[in-house]
Amino acid sequence: MRIGIIDADLLGRKKHRFPNLACEKISGYYKDHGHSVELVLDYNDMNKYDKVFISKVFTDTQIAPHIIQADNVEIGGTGFYFDKAPALPECIEHNMPDYHLYDEFIKKSIKVTKKPSQQQFRFYTDYSIGFLTRGCFRKCGFCVNQKYNHVFMHSQLDEFLDHDRKKLCLLDDNFFGHPQWKMLLQKVIDTNKPFVFKQGLDERLLTEEKCEMLFSAKYDGDVIFAFDNITDYDLIHKKLKIIRKYKGKKNVKFYVLVGFESTDAQDILNAFKRIALLFRYGCLPYIMRFQNKNDMPWKMSEFRSLYITLARWCNQPSIVKKMSFRDFCELNQEVHKNKDTLCSSMDAMRKFEKRYPDIAKYFDIRFENR
């Protein structure tokens, strides 16, 4: 058969630069069984394929209805089904991914890029990617991972480890929630390859043993956790003390969820309280604005501009390490073209500060690099 594979997020999102693992597994399976497989980079001439697999991760990636209704098309992924996405057949799920599926796309992209950079394609070219475990017991209301209520072993490392690739990218939902985390982590360390947990780790499960093992390993890039709920403040404060003991010179980043429980002044306050705590322990915040499928409540908030400015400040490490939120707004004002008006950042900050002076004290907090 002639098989076409479409990574819908690659086609529908200009800055998307992460391989679709399901696409790579489907490609690997069909190539191993002697079929012709190619990555399709548009929605034209799909009739020339016996079968077209379309996968997408993000719900807001747009695809015309007539495309997915074609007789030779099969769709899958959270972008179509959200938390009800069906699993791949076992024979495909546990097949070695085809890490060369995107090769031609990368070659073409580099040719047309004015400043070619292999770095933006690093997850396509440098990493073996997969899940050692699946599932999570947290059942967080904002999370797409609702299918399972526990963490379980999913695959052996050898299922997706390409020894020719320099690094490892693990997509586990809640790795430290598995009883055999230590054995699994040791297997990863024993590869002697730099590795990263792409989805982040559950800091609420951290212990001295876990931190010592994690931070002494050959970790690739920022070690990422999540500070989603202000109700976890005291617990995460305790865990930050352990992290500081072991992190050394490694960068530690926390996703900070906003706009989920509310989009009012209390939500802004809760965000700054979490940011302030992270700053004290030399950890970087990364603002995650809640999105429920295609619904983004923060966009309808009276503090929309403040949410945008908060994310622009926090999500640029080179900026948030050097200046306070107030400094950042003032810098935006300095470069504002019309000196007779306020830029959106300064306007949002001043209006909020006037209404909520007690909360605005957080506008002057600074990152502590220690």
The domain locations on the chain are 1-115, 126-221, 224-229+248-370
pLDDT for the residue numbered 112: 66
Confidence of residue 83 (pLDDT cuts 50, 70, 90): confident
What pLDDT, in 10s, does the model give residues 89-144? Answer: 999 999 999 999 999 999 988 876 655 567 899 999 999 999 999 998 887 766 76
Which residues on neighbouring strands pair with residue 75, listed in sequence order?
54
Q: What is the mean pLDDT of the chain?
A: 94
Q: What is the pTM of this model?
A: 0.91
Position 296 pLDDT exceeds 90: no
**DSSP designation for 88:** P
Mean pLDDT of 293-313: 89
Position 310 pLDDT exceeds 90: yes
CA 354 to chain CA centroid, Å, is 35
Which residues on neighbouring strands pair with residue 38, listed in sequence order?
4
pLDDT for the residue numbered 140: 73
3-state secondary structure labels for all residues of 108-154: HHHHHCCCCCHHHHHHHHCEEEECCEECCCCCCCCCCCCCCCCCEEC
φ/ψ (deg, to 5) at 95:
-90, 145
Which residues on neighbouring strands pair with residue 51, listed in sequence order?
3
Reported as half-sphere exposure (CB side, CA atoms, 13 A), residue 71 has a value of: 3
What is the CATH code for 126-221? 3.30.750.210
Report the distance separating Cα 90 and Cα 207, nearest Å: 34
Confidence of residue 149 (pLDDT cuts 50, 70, 90): confident
**DSSP designation for 107:** H
Neighbours of 55 (CB within 10 A): 26
Tokens in use for 157? 């490392």
Report the distance separating Cα 157 and Cα 360, nearest Å: 49
State which fold the 1-115 domain adopts.
Rossmann fold (3.40.50)
Report the distance separating Cα 225 and Cα 114, nearest Å: 35
- 105 and 10 Cβ atoms separated by less than 8 Å: yes
Q: Which single residue is written with the structure tokens 């292999």?
A: 118
What pLDDT, in 10s, does the model give residues 128-138? Answer: 999 999 998 88
